[in-house]
């Protein structure tokens, strides 16, 4: 038998071509995805028969990197970058991971402190501990966001970040918070998980601080089921967050390149967004204005239809135009009145809830953050509470933020759907009014003189009333 010339020496290749093979993900996977959408049997049958007849179906490449087709995740990052108005944007698989990656990008670790509000979803605070740092829990005020004065008092030489949360879709007091942060040279990470698309004085949330973190989990303003984004104008922080989020498989797509500016090579985790979520996120980002317009219109109409009673106040909103409008919060005279009003309002069919009830466990209120208050750890090393942090640990207790608990126990939160019709809004306001009338007399109108720095005229009027009372 004559020996064949080796391919390496110019002979014929033993393997000219393998395949063709069908793509890894094909018809059955597409049908499962379609099944997520509820549609009429007729439509479904037509789509299924069309797909089954298709002879040249090429499945998707669901990994965001090395995708032969344009990546949906990359397109969603671009759309988010443009919408928020920042230079860099990184998609992640959640806001929880976006927060950890941001803390890590800033170099936050053992012994460092991060200031978080006493009213936020637990993840804001838990991620600080997950990054081996110490959460310092601070009071919110009647904006239901961080109180800038309380923040300033909580700053120590170990404070490495301040995390305002734009809670329930409304912007925190970013002017005052940035003033405090800048005077102390501390970066702000905006937790905009609940406020996608919102803004403060014309600037989108997530563009005011050093970094911004968003959640696209199903219950948020703009959603992809699961998902998150980090926004920043700082290239170094972007690169570090990207490396952390991609198992430190650095600098993709040029993953074996040398470190560019230093401090970019470290061990990370995997927080990558898949192309499935990227596609949904992209469509939702493009619909942001339409979604927000619906929420804002409905919220305005419900608020205008409510007839406040004595002792009642709406939540102070720092910038009505920038509020996403996903809910309307008001405070009643006291916790007792709120407890009485809430079931009656719910019985009217109004989609309302309380925020704090001593007997109901809720991950949004600090005194239920048992894992933090009791300084629990996943391992026997007792991190983050051991080592260098040990000497300066905060004293946590269930009553350490009494103002927050007081406000939350008086609050009623009305969900505002983007699709509510005017008639729906009027019915919601009517349901609330019916109950309020049984609880107290109509609030007397106040002459309001808006003052600089207070966008919410009602709050200003209330403040003046309190000040005048004190003078007397």
Ligand X SMILES: Cc1ncc(COP(=O)(O)O)c(C=O)c1O
Question: Cα–Cα distance between 95 and 344 in angstroms, integer?
Answer: 35
Contact mark string toward ligand X, 14..43, x via CB under 6 A: ------------------------------
Contact mark string toward ligand X, 132..171, x via CB under 6 A: ---------------------------------x------
Q: Is 324 in the site for ligand X (CB under 6 A)?
A: no
Q: Which is nearer to ligand X, 229 or 331 (CB)?
A: 229
CB under 8 A, 24+ apart: contacts of 342-350: 342/412, 344/435, 344/438, 345/412, 345/431, 345/432, 345/435, 348/431, 348/432, 348/434, 348/435, 349/427, 349/431, 350/414, 350/428, 350/431, 350/432
Pick the binder of ligand X from 217, 264, 320, 458 (CB under 6 A): 217
Query: Looking at the annotation, which residues are catalytic?
Result: 220
Q: Is 123 in the site for ligand X (CB under 6 A)?
A: yes
**113-117 and 134-138 beta bridge pairing:** parallel
Q: Is 274 in the site for ligand X (CB under 6 A)?
A: no
Q: Is 116 in the site for ligand X (CB under 6 A)?
A: no
Q: Is 284 in the site for ligand X (CB under 6 A)?
A: no
Q: Which is nearer to ligand X, 96 or 210 (CB)?
A: 96
Question: Cα–Cα distance between 427 and 302 in angstroms, integer?
Answer: 9
Question: Cα–Cα distance between 159 and 170 in angstroms, integer?
Answer: 25
Question: Cα–Cα distance between 472 and 65 in angstroms, integer?
Answer: 68
Pick the binder of ligand X from 103, 119, 121, 238 (CB under 6 A): 121
Q: Is 223 in the site for ligand X (CB under 6 A)?
A: no
Smallest gap, in angstroms, from Cβ of residue 214 to ligand X? 8
Smallest gap, in angstroms, from Cβ of residue 213 to ligand X? 7
Indicate the burial class of 427 (C-beta count within 10 angstroms; 0-12, 13-18, 19 or more). middle
Smallest gap, in angstroms, from Cβ of residue 114 to ligand X? 13
Smallest gap, in angstroms, from Cβ of residue 394 to ligand X? 20
Residue with tokens 């305005």, as numbered in its chain = 300
Pick the binder of ligand X from 79, 89, 96, 407 (CB under 6 A): 96
Would you state the structure tokens that stand for residue 263, as one six-digit string? 């401090």
Q: Which is nearer to ligand X, 92 or 337 (CB)?
A: 92
Alpha-carbon Rg for the chain, nearest whole angstrom, is 26
Would you state the structure tokens that stand for residue 213, as one six-digit string? 């973190």
Pick the binder of ligand X from 90, 91, 94, 180 (CB under 6 A): 94
Pick the binder of ligand X from 71, 120, 210, 224 (CB under 6 A): 120
Q: Site size for ligand X, by CB under 6 A?
A: 14
How many Cβ atoms from other residues are within 10 Å of residue 354's Cβ? 21
Q: Which is nearer to ligand X, 168 or 316 (CB)?
A: 168
Would you state the structure tokens that stand for residue 201, as one six-digit string? 């004085």
Pick the binder of ligand X from 159, 207, 210, 215 (CB under 6 A): 215
Pick the binder of ligand X from 125, 194, 210, 274 (CB under 6 A): 194
Smallest gap, in angstroms, from Cβ of residue 7 to ligand X? 51
Q: Is 173 in the site for ligand X (CB under 6 A)?
A: no
How many Cβ atoms from other residues are within 10 Å of residue 278's Cβ? 24
Q: Is 228 in the site for ligand X (CB under 6 A)?
A: yes
Sole window of 106-114, 118-126, 437-445, 458-466 interacting with ligand X (rule: CB under 6 A)? 118-126
CB 234 within 8 A of CB 209: no
Smallest gap, in angstroms, from Cβ of residue 120 to ligand X? 5
Smallest gap, in angstroms, from Cβ of residue 408 to ligand X? 15
Q: Is 193 in the site for ligand X (CB under 6 A)?
A: yes
Residue 421, preceding peptide bond in cis (omega within 30° of 0): no
- Give the residue among 414, 443, 444 at the shortest CA–CA distance from 429: 414
- Could you tell me how far CA 460 lies from the centroid of its own chain? 29
267: which residues sit within 8 A by CB, 6+ positions away? 248
If you ran DSSP here, which 8-state letter would residue 219 be given?
T
Smallest gap, in angstroms, from Cβ of residue 99 to ligand X? 6
230 φ/ψ angles, rounded to the nearest 5 degrees: -115, 135
Q: Which is nearer to ligand X, 250 or 279 (CB)?
A: 279
**Residues at the interface with ligand X (CB under 6 A):** 94-96, 120-121, 123-124, 165, 191, 193-194, 215, 217, 228
């Amino acid at each position: 038998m004559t020996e064949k010339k080796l391919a390496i020496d110019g002979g014929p290749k033993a393997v000219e071509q393998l395949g063709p093979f069908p793509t890894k993900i094909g018809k059955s996977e597409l049908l499962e995805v379609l099944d997520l959408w509820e549609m009429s049997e007729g439509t479904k049958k037509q789509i299924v028969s069309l797909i089954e007849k298709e002879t040249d179906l090429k499945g998707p490449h669901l990994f965001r990197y090395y995708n032969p087709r344009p990546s949906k995740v990359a397109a969603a990052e671009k759309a988010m970058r443009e919408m928020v108005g920042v230079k860099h944007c990184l998609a992640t698989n959640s806001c929880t991971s976006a927060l950890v990656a941001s803390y890590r990008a800033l170099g936050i670790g053992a012994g460092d402190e991060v200031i978080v509000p006493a009213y936020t979803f637990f993840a804001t605070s838990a991620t600080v501990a997950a990054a081996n740092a110490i959460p310092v829990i601070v009071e919110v005020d009647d904006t239901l966001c961080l109180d800038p004065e309380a923040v300033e008092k909580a700053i120590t030489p170990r404070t490495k970040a301040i995390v305002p949360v734009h809670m329930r879709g409304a912007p925190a007091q970013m002017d005052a918070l940035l003033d405090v942060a800048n005077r102390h040279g501390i970066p702000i990470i905006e937790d905009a998980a609940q406020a996608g698309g919102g803004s403060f004085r014309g600037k989108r949330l997530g563009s005011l601080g050093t970094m911004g973190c968003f959640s696209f989990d199903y219950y948020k303003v703009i959603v992809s089921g699961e998902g998150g984004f980090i926004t920043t104008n700082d290239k170094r922080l972007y690169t570090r967050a990207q490396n952390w989020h991609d198992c430190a498989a650095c600098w993709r797509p040029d993953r074996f390149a040398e470190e560019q500016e230093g401090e970019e090579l470290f061990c990370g985790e995997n927080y990558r967004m898949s192309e499935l979520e990227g596609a949904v996120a992209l469509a939702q980002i493009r619909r942001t204005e339409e979604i927000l317009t619906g929420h804002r219109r409905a919220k305005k109409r419900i608020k205008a239809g409510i007839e406040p009673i004595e002792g009642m106040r709406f939540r102070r909103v720092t910038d009505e135009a920038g509020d996403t409008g996903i809910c309307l919060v008001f405070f009643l005279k006291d916790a007792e009145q709120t407890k009485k009003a809430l079931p009656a309002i719910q019985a009217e069919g109004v989609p309302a809830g309380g925020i704090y009830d001593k007997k109901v466990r809720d991950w949004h209120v600090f005194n239920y953050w048992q894992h933090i208050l009791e300084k629990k750890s996943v391992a026997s090393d007792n991190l983050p509470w051991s080592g260098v942090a040990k000497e300066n640990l905060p004293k946590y207790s269930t009553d350490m933020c009494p103002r927050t608990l007081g406000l939350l126990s008086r609050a009623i939160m009305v969900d505002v759907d983007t699709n509510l019709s005017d008639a729906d809004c009027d019915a919601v306001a009517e349901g609330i009014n019916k109950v309020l009338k049984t609880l107290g007399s109509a609030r007397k109108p106040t002459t309001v003189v808006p003052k600089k720095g207070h966008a919410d005229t009602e709050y200003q009027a209330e403040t003046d009333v309190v000040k005048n009372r004190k003078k007397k």
